Amino acid sequence: MIPVTKPFLPPQGEYEKYLDGIWHRQWLTNMGPLASDLELKLKDHLKLKHLLFVTNGTVALQMAIKALDLKGEIITTPFSFVATTSSIVWEGCTPIFVDIDQDSLNIDASKIEAAITEKTSAILATHVYGNPCEVDKIEAIASKHNLKVIYDGAHAFGVEINGKSIFEYGDISICSLHATKLYHAIEGGLVITKDAKLLKKLAYMRNFGFDGPEAFAELGFNGKNSEFHAAMGLVNLKHINTIHYSRKAISERYDEKLKGFHAIKPVWNSKSSKNYAYYPVVVESEELLHKCIDNLKTYEIFVRRYFYPSLANVLPYVEAVEMNITEDIAKRVMCLPLFSELTMEEVDLICRLLLRIQNN
């Protein structure tokens, strides 16, 4: 069986080395020494000044919206994981969808201004599959209209643009460290901001708003993470280069073997590095997509319709709108298997089957 993804697991002994310390200290959560160490090491690895390790990427989004005190409408993309939109609603704001660019599959920056009203407070854009948005255009629009910018960089760990981390952009950026991501801490998320005062506010929020044992500085909740998750993050960080190289090699093999496959890949931002988080392809029709999925399943090979369906018209808590490009892409896109343990022989098999399915 070939799943669409498998979580990277380091040698078991490397993880177990951290357990003795956890048992000895009996400090399991509440930002223990391992969680603090992980924050420092991630800041160094990603070349960032400020960073918080939190429960997960969804909590990170909710914290970002709350910390910026956003109200009213937030412009966002309908082509993303549901947490991008649900976090906006959860925090009492209204998502306003803007269609995507048919090449990058990110929010179309040229359409953002037309969606701005007197109720608009922010733009929440997703770096889809880790592919950076048009950050300079979005920054210019936000500056012109006095809007905040949040980037959902759930897929974007390790990506750089214009020579610096993609997480440097926006008022706040977030990342997911979920087990399915190329770098993970089993469960986890990151909140990143350049603003030291904003970071302090977020740090209070992460721990119920506590400012000492008997005082409170902010409205907060439990956004902390455990020492067990931090331990996995610390071990996996030691393997990040190996993870990157293996996924790059697999992606390049797909590129080579699928030259005759009638599908397009998202156009990657030309100023950006790649992290090879996913291998998405957009096929010619939804009929061919179903044909591929069904035939691959007979060989126990599983792909994922990611993202499907479009968020613009399926969520019961959001007013449905028509987003033509998103609807079209969502019906035809699938992510092929991509994980460190995937062999070249398995990649070749997947590619042969896809070509056979297309030609029959």
The pLDDT assigned to 213 comes to 87
b (16+ CB within 10 A) / e for 313-351: bebeebeebebebbbebbbbbbbbbbbbebeeeebebbb
Class of domain 12-98+105-237: alpha beta
Q: What are the backbone dihedrals phi and psi of residue 208, each rounded to the nearest 5 degrees, phi first? A: 60, 10
The CATH code belonging to domain 240-359 is 3.90.1150.10
What pLDDT band is residue 360 in, cutting at 50, 70 and 90? confident
- Which among 139, 135, 144, 122 has a CA at the least distance from the CA of 74? 122
Residue 127's CB is within 10 A of a number of other CB atoms, namely 29
Domain boundaries, the chain: 12-98+105-237, 240-359
In the chain, the percentage of residues whose pLDDT exceeds 70 is 100
The pLDDT assigned to 212 comes to 87
| Residue for token pair 């699938």 | 334
Query: d(Cα 85, Cα 79) in Å, to the nearest integer?
Result: 10
Beta carbons within 8 Å of 280's beta carbon, 6+ residues apart: 105, 129, 265, 266, 306, 333, 334, 335, 336
Query: d(Cα 182, Cα 3) in Å, to the nearest integer?
Result: 15
What is the chain's mean pLDDT, rounded? 97
pLDDT digits (tens, 9 = 90+) for 106-142: 999 999 999 999 999 999 999 999 999 999 999 999 9
Letter for the amino acid at 76?
T
pLDDT digits (tens, 9 = 90+) for 63-79: 999 999 999 999 999 99
pTM over 0.95: yes
